[in-house]
Structure 1
């Protein structure tokens, strides 16, 4: 069945919408000519949100299809739909209402997925908590976001003493550790409740993602409205297709994981989850389930590639058509190593919690310009501005990155917002385009180091350092200097048995970059401090 020609002759939004529909049809998200199914999905998303709508749509499309696989085995889309019906009814019996803020502090497993779907069915506002939180962060975020109910894995019980005023704490996925039975296990609630469908809530609850919090307490970025059409931002440049299989290595609470979970679910793909990331177990899972897509953050990809050719050869990963990487900077060295190991399947996405998608680099883009984050997909727009707000159009000129996206947020939950110019939202990054229109990110605008009047962005030096055969990872920061204002300091992790010393590091940088980019201070450490999604915690470096 051929799709009718898209309406590119029409200007502006009409052409963009037509192109978006064509992309959705090509991926299988709109089953042309059954446009009624596509319309039902749009209506369901408006009523119950993206999680529940995706589960309902896929259950209706093929109720026997496996929707999720975790350590406990497979669940069909139909089983997930029924489980979430029962949990939603149990919550209603316990006082959960539309607008109730439910926080989930869970690793990736069927319990979390059931919670996500059930929250949409009752119209609750779902807050996805970072499993790497310490007790003070968890307490602060729960108070600020006005959390009324909490779903958590047993392993996090000791973190909860500072959280006040919960309606109830419902244990996810594991057995009930409470001898008095005051806190019911999630499966107990599900097993003891009717699983008939619920009427849609009077208003959609939405969900809240948290920023990475690398420099302070994470901020809440709500997603009140999620347009089905906006999903083409991913599908336009990443060839996810209906009915395939996705291994989700990135955690669901992170923007990378949640976006690809929603999209894979909506496409009727089997999603393979594991509570904790393990590089070799990931390869085994890809081979076992014939996964066509693997979703990772860069540190996960590095751990996989670092296994070495002998371990990589043990597993048949030839089914992979997509290795989707996002969440932090992907160095040219790591991207090239991954390409050599797996072939031309690397897709490097650039975005943020606030703007969602900005650009995507396809394998062809990466081959042409390693390190690029690519081009904006349909419905996205990226422009660069200088400090005075003037637009930069010349190639190779660094400017502040601003993005227009149908998935952009509308302000943090505490009332603050990002800077806006010409209707575009600041990402907080600086970057440049090359002569082919490919975008490169030079660093965070607040990480620029001014040393002796020269501007240095750490990422350039860091990318060079990790290309050294004896360096595993590196970070570069600015430290106070009486003569130069700031001087560069490199924090380096080397391979076991490496003979590298500070002078060798400095000579290596001096031989490849300008003299003012050579770090005067070099410190060797066993590992860099990172959060749960692999971003370096620069506030812990000194």
Structure 2
């Protein structure tokens, strides 16, 4: 009887989710109830050529002369971007790459990357999005694991491409002119200028996409998706007011989940994406001003660097059109949360999720004012649950537990056959979390980051957030290291603010004044910079945990 009741409850929730998601999609403009033919075409295309190919094709039909992307080479319209994608898709198929095969791309944010993303779907090929921070060994191992048959790459990654087996087709997606193009290798610019721009025959079904995990603990895993619910976009637009037919500056890497998802939704709403191959804080402000951008997509470390420019430099650029700043990828400290909104107004949205669970929750501007640093509440179709180590559900205010998520964008497992832990239909995020007195979610760090020091549970992120408030600290990381007396102790890595000279005693005194004694770092190490991956996430395994 219990299982029947549970099944009925789940079915009712599914219907409620579907209705709620439809309302959100209509409200945002992603669905037009007055034009069912257009809606059916969009849904059908998403099932055959995938989300990237379908949003570009839709833009080419509805507003071909509108700007689709602006990069260092200028601007491409939706019509031009769609034609480029067709040319590349036709070239790949003519080169002998069979439908259903896997192609890889390692490229920074520019027209070549978006062209490749769209072309893969149109050609019926699965696309593996490679990490621009890869070393040669990682790159080769992942390409082999994903069974890549062609690699599209920026010239700067030529050394990586050279390490691949010779039978793999190579195409250069961006030319810097700093090294010769190998014999027999064509450039994407040549292919799109001279190739067949007619629309390829649609494949029977979308071949899928592989987005790699951050790889902060080892070789990145491949998170595959071969089916994409039409309600996936609702996870974004439910709590984030993405502009329509406007402009979005996207500096969060598009090869990773956040940049990819926000670009897709922005493109579906007819926005122009302004991208930079390499993040630069002042150039980002200049792009916001030049394009009168309504939205910025970034990671917290990028916002930190923008604020570090100082009020005088920031004031040189007119950002009055900015209505939305979406951040994700790493923890947002309460200090940074307040500083961003004090500088740019109440425009900040903190998105929390992962490659595996998609979007778990979003904090709105008002919620970030109420509880700086929170990740907010789940969007439509989303549900959150906390479990203890034995798999029992946890309830209560400010009670920590392992965070699990259920939503309308289910994960299909890693490409190596593994999966995340699932309890009652909820998938593990790997994070520890709690709900505050307002019902807002707070992330307390990875479940494997917690240490036990002298019998007390300590979460390094709590100490990091406190130290981030210190005016003499520019960046900080806290880890647990072995200790003969206490089992584990905290070690803090500090990047001092410009013209500041804090001492280890200053750091320890600040923590002691605000937190329990056992949370004071025993070791304080000053460094020039912290190891972060291209998405801004701290790579803790690269911090020295051995004897100093």
Q: TM-score, normalised by structure 2?
A: 0.95
Taking the aligned partners of 1:297 and 1:202, their CA distance within structure 2 comes to 37
Match of 1:164 in 2: 165
Q: How many residues align?
A: 533
Taking the aligned partners of 2:421 and 2:12, their CA distance within structure 1 comes to 29
Match of 1:34 in 2: 35
> Cα deviation per residue 1:425-468 (whole Å; 9 max; x = unaligned)?
00000000012210000000000011001001111000000100
Taking the aligned partners of 2:157 and 2:314, their CA distance within structure 1 comes to 34
Is the 2:151–2:161 contact (alpha carbons within 8 Å) kept by the matching residues of 1? no
Segments ≥4 residues shifted beyond 6 Å: none
Taking the aligned partners of 1:180 and 1:255, their CA distance within structure 2 comes to 32
Q: 1:188-337, aligned counterparts within 5 Å?
A: 188-337=190-339
The answer for unaligned runs of 5 or more in structure 1 is 1-9
Q: 1:520-535, aligned counterparts within 5 Å?
A: 520-535=522-537
> Cα deviation per residue 1:264-323 (whole Å; 9 max; x = unaligned)?
111111111111111110011011111111000111111111111001100111111110
Taking the aligned partners of 1:145 and 1:478, their CA distance within structure 2 comes to 34
Is the aligned partner of 1:17 residue 2:18?
yes
Is the aligned partner of 1:133 residue 2:134?
yes
Taking the aligned partners of 1:91 and 1:281, their CA distance within structure 2 comes to 35
Alpha-carbon distance change, 166 to 129 in structure 1, aligned in 2, over 3 angstroms:
farther
Is the 1:95–1:167 contact (alpha carbons within 8 Å) kept by the matching residues of 2? no
Is the 1:83–1:114 contact (alpha carbons within 8 Å) kept by the matching residues of 2? yes
Q: Please, which moves more after superposition, 289-298 or 492-501?
A: 492-501
Is the aligned partner of 1:439 residue 2:441?
yes
Match of 1:183 in 2: 185
Is the 2:383–2:407 contact (alpha carbons within 8 Å) kept by the matching residues of 1? yes
Q: Please, which moves more after superposition, 294-303 or 57-66?
A: 57-66
> Cα deviation per residue 1:136-156 (whole Å; 9 max; x = unaligned)?
111111111111100001111
Match of 2:5 in 1: none
Taking the aligned partners of 1:76 and 1:500, their CA distance within structure 2 comes to 51
After TM superposition, give the deviation of residue 500 of structure 1 in Å.
Answer: 1.1
After TM superposition, give the deviation of residue 14 of structure 1 in Å.
Answer: 2.8
**Alignment counterpart, residue 468 of structure 1, candidates 467, 470, 481:** 470
**Alignment counterpart, residue 506 of structure 1, candidates 508, 511, 529:** 508
Taking the aligned partners of 1:284 and 1:129, their CA distance within structure 2 comes to 29
Is the 2:170–2:185 contact (alpha carbons within 8 Å) kept by the matching residues of 1? yes
Is the 2:405–2:426 contact (alpha carbons within 8 Å) kept by the matching residues of 1? yes
RMSD: 1.4
After TM superposition, give the deviation of residue 35 of structure 1 in Å.
Answer: 2.4
SS of alignment partner, residue 16 of structure 1: helix
Q: TM-score, normalised by structure 1?
A: 0.96
After TM superposition, give the deviation of residue 65 of structure 1 in Å.
Answer: 0.9
Is the 1:105–1:152 contact (alpha carbons within 8 Å) kept by the matching residues of 2? yes
After TM superposition, give the deviation of residue 165 of structure 1 in Å.
Answer: 5.4
> Cα deviation per residue 1:335-379 (whole Å; 9 max; x = unaligned)?
111010000000001101100100000001111111110000001
After TM superposition, give the deviation of residue 178 of structure 1 in Å.
Answer: 4.7
Is the 2:243–2:294 contact (alpha carbons within 8 Å) kept by the matching residues of 1? no
After TM superposition, give the deviation of residue 12 of structure 1 in Å.
Answer: 2.9
